[in-house]
A and B are shown apart, each in its own frame.
Chain A
Amino acid sequence: MNVASNPVTSADTGDQRILSYAEAIREAMALAMQADPTVIVMGEDIGVYGGAFQVTLDLIDRFGPDRVMDTPISELGGAGVAVGAALTGLKPIFEFQFSDFAMLAMEQIVNQAAKLRYMLGGEASVPVVFRMPSGSGTGAAAQHSQSIEAWFGHVPGLKVLQPATPEDAKGMLLAALADPDPVMIFEHKLLYKTRGHVPEGSYLTPIGKALVRRSGADLTIVAGSIMLHRALEAAERLAVDGIHAEVIDLRSIRPIDHDTILTSVRKTGKLLVVYEGVKAYGVGAEISAMVAESDAFDYLDAPILRLGAADAPVPYNPDLERASVPQVDTIEAAARRLARREV
């Protein structure tokens, strides 16, 4: 059976609104700002310019410069201002122009935002949302193309999400705003223009819940963000040859959904983890260890496979860039080897 139980795209029927991923994020921000006067949006060139990826386009016209605030090019200061404002009554959405630039603000994200509640013994809350445009495929080379979500997965106190669809992009942002703790949302730059069904109004995508996007009995593929789409395409090709992959949309890196993954691995006995971050010490290591440390280990009938980025900075040359991260072909090939136990 190859039933797409939770399709990632929908037909543009009368009762289904189709929006792009970027539009869905913008709609979430606008809904939140309408509903809650403490929500503000901050970042570099997010006002009249509309953000480097046009995600905040026109928000300044609707909500004014007091709530849609262009910051100086000061990632540490800007992120810290968002943290301080969150600590004292606002709900800031802070956009890093590229997630790579968050490295300039690691101090405020990791030492402050993530730890304040704990260091203060639960007496403080930092409801800030960091939006993190992420990933390769744009030809922007090593400092504008990274996938560093796993870094933040290592930090207690943070929540780390990666929506793959417009529907989730909206629902996760609204869920992040409703959450009393700091949430980082990794938005893949190549997904901004992808389109899909987005429900109207406010709804919250649960944080920490993975989703089976395609059912199958032969192997489990766990992937998030753009890798979900590549994994689904690979699964489609595999199905032609009678290999039925179950594809799980990871959605949340921290907290991570043990149950959905382990249940699937118990069923299929084979696990392939696909992610865009550097393969070593990444999301795949965590998921592999999760399986190895659980009863699902006993159900494995092949080694676990990981597909991640090459052990190199993201290269500029387009062919090299493509080759440096998992693509549909490489996912398909790895899944075939795994299905045949040729690993």
Chain B
Amino acid sequence: MADPTTDNRPFAIRHYAPAQLREALKRMYLIRRFEEGAEDSYTRGMIHGTMHLSIGQEGSAMASCMELTDADKITSNHRGHGHCIAKGADVGRMFAEFFGKETGYCHGRGGSMHIADVKTGNLGANGIVGGGLPIAVGAALAAKRLGKSDVTVCFFGDGANNEGAFHESLNIASVWKLPVIFVCENNGYGMSTSTARSTAVQHISQRAAAYAMPGVTVDGNDFSAVSEALHIAIARARAGEGPSLVENLTYRWRGHSKSDRNRYRTKDEIESWMAKDPIARFRADLIAHGILDDAAADAIAAEAVADVQKGIEFAKASAAPHLSEVTRYVYAEA
């Protein structure tokens, strides 16, 4: 690791090995292409229900997971596909889940809103706004009680910061000094209601003060800024010093869900955020600092396209659950 006092490159460039950075770029492309593939499959009628796409938020998801091992946990929210991929999930099994297949991560019982991969430490997306916050605190409690140094990263949106669960969770985590990092992905809107109309404080990170923990707001589309904030918060958590709140300012390019008719945002606003594409920025940073060149970046992007294609084929070819098994997994099998 380079000395930050003499090295003025961005944190991520000086802190992570080139292979890690290339893998991060790959996973960000994978998230983007996965979301597009899911959207396309939905349009073609291969996925039913609804989904919440995280296109535009890939930097926040990936940078927040840079220092997590499979033993570390995440909890996620309804916009959780990116978190799942960033934590290490296989896109084939994710597509299979969205297609409702038995080979999916949840054997077709959960779908988009409950996508999880317990083996890589992803305790699951959540259909209830704020639902994952107390669960994350519980996972942090378990790690502490079991004498492990594992941390839990709890992803939620700006909407959740007005749920009671947010306040109860931050308070308990702080009182008990638990190794949890609350990552608020503030994309400006809880469904259609802007944070300006819903939230009394200007920055959600200000709410950390009420719970006596560090709170920081960063540009969520700046990979390096997010990874640095998480690096500090994770180090604090692993050292037993307690929780932190990190607010990643970001934006979802698509609507809230498939029913969104986008009546509450302007085209100009959306386009201004598309110009701040976290993937393009990260890629440009990597090239500027000699981590890879354009051709290598294109090759990585092409790999993501191929992985998504392969994933969709796997999902299509997989078997659906048997109808006789509708009550399977309600309880543990004897």
Name A residues whose Cβ lies closer than 8 Å to a Cβ of B.
38, 40, 66-67, 69, 71-72, 74, 76-90, 92, 107-108, 111-112, 116-125, 156-157, 159, 179-181
- Is the pair B134, A66 in contact by a Cβ cutoff of 8 Å? no
Complex CA gap A180/B331 in Å reads 8
Number of residues of chain B lying within 8 A (CB) of chain A: 47
CB < 8 Å neighbour of A111 from B73, B118, B128: B128
CB < 8 Å neighbour of B134 from A79, A120, A121, A124: A79
* Residue in chain A with minimal CB distance to B168: A77
- Is the pair B134, A88 in contact by a Cβ cutoff of 8 Å? no
- Is the pair B141, A121 in contact by a Cβ cutoff of 8 Å? no
Contacts of A72 in B (CB 8 A): 168, 171-172, 175
- Is the pair B329, A121 in contact by a Cβ cutoff of 8 Å? yes
Complex CA gap A23/B315 in Å reads 55
Contacts of B107 in A (CB 8 A): 121-122
Minimum CB–CB distance from A135 to chain B (whole Å) comes to 27
30 chain-A/chain-B pairs, Cβ below 8 angstroms: A38-B146, A72-B171, A72-B172, A77-B137, A78-B168, A78-B172, A80-B131, A80-B165, A84-B123, A84-B136, A84-B142, A85-B145, A87-B138, A88-B123, A108-B134, A111-B131, A112-B131, A112-B135, A116-B124, A119-B109, A120-B105, A120-B109, A121-B106, A121-B107, A121-B110, A123-B116, A125-B332, A157-B331, A159-B331, A181-B332
**B263: Cβ under 8 A from any A Cβ:** no
- Is the pair B138, A84 in contact by a Cβ cutoff of 8 Å? yes
Complex CA gap A69/B137 in Å reads 14
Contacts of A111 in B (CB 8 A): 127-128, 131
* Residue in chain A with minimal CB distance to B144: A66
Name B residues whose Cβ lies closer than 8 Å to a Cβ of A.
73, 75, 104-110, 114, 116, 118-119, 123-124, 126-128, 131, 133-143, 145-146, 164-165, 168-169, 171-172, 175-176, 327-333
* Residue in chain B with minimal CB distance to A114: B330
- Is the pair B142, A122 in contact by a Cβ cutoff of 8 Å? no
Minimum CB–CB distance from B84 to chain A (whole Å) comes to 12
Complex CA gap A38/B138 in Å reads 13
- Is the pair B145, A40 in contact by a Cβ cutoff of 8 Å? yes
* Residue in chain B with minimal CB distance to A110: B128
Minimum CB–CB distance from A91 to chain B (whole Å) comes to 10
Please report whether the interface of chain A is mostly helix, strand, loop or mixed according to DSSP.
Answer: mixed
- Is the pair A80, B133 in contact by a Cβ cutoff of 8 Å? yes
* Residue in chain A with minimal CB distance to B170: A77
Complex CA gap A89/B128 in Å reads 23
Contacts of B108 in A (CB 8 A): 121
- Is the pair B141, A85 in contact by a Cβ cutoff of 8 Å? yes
Contacts of B137 in A (CB 8 A): 77, 80-81, 84
* Residue in chain B with minimal CB distance to A179: B332
Contacts of B333 in A (CB 8 A): 122
CB < 8 Å neighbour of A88 from B139, B165, B171: B139
Minimum CB–CB distance from B225 to chain A (whole Å) comes to 28
If A87-B138, A111-B131 touch, whether A123 touches B165 (CB-CB below 8 Å) is no
Complex CA gap A125/B124 in Å reads 13
With A78-B172, A80-B138, A123-B116 given, name 13 new contacts (CB 8 A): A76-B164, A77-B169, A78-B134, A80-B133, A84-B138, A87-B123, A88-B142, A89-B146, A111-B127, A119-B106, A121-B108, A123-B105, A123-B106
* Residue in chain B with minimal CB distance to A42: B141
Minimum CB–CB distance from A197 to chain B (whole Å) comes to 30
Minimum CB–CB distance from A335 to chain B (whole Å) comes to 35
- Is the pair B171, A66 in contact by a Cβ cutoff of 8 Å? no
Contacts of A67 in B (CB 8 A): 145
- Is the pair A120, B328 in contact by a Cβ cutoff of 8 Å? no
Contacts of B175 in A (CB 8 A): 72
Contacts of B119 in A (CB 8 A): 123
Minimum CB–CB distance from B227 to chain A (whole Å) comes to 25
If A88-B143, A123-B116, A124-B124 touch, whether A71 touches B172 (CB-CB below 8 Å) is yes
Contacts of A69 in B (CB 8 A): 176
| Residue of A40, A85, A180 contacting most chain B CB atoms (<10 Å) | A85
| Residue of A82, A112, A180 contacting most chain B CB atoms (<10 Å) | A112
Contacts of B171 in A (CB 8 A): 72, 74, 77
Contacts of B138 in A (CB 8 A): 80-88, 90, 92
Complex CA gap A246/B134 in Å reads 46
Complex CA gap A92/B135 in Å reads 13
Contacts of A112 in B (CB 8 A): 126, 128, 131, 135
CB < 8 Å neighbour of B114 from A88, A120, A179: A120
* Residue in chain A with minimal CB distance to B327: A156
Complex CA gap A88/B137 in Å reads 11
If A84-B134, A122-B328 touch, whether A76 touches B106 (CB-CB below 8 Å) is no
Minimum CB–CB distance from B147 to chain A (whole Å) comes to 10
- Is the pair A119, B135 in contact by a Cβ cutoff of 8 Å? no
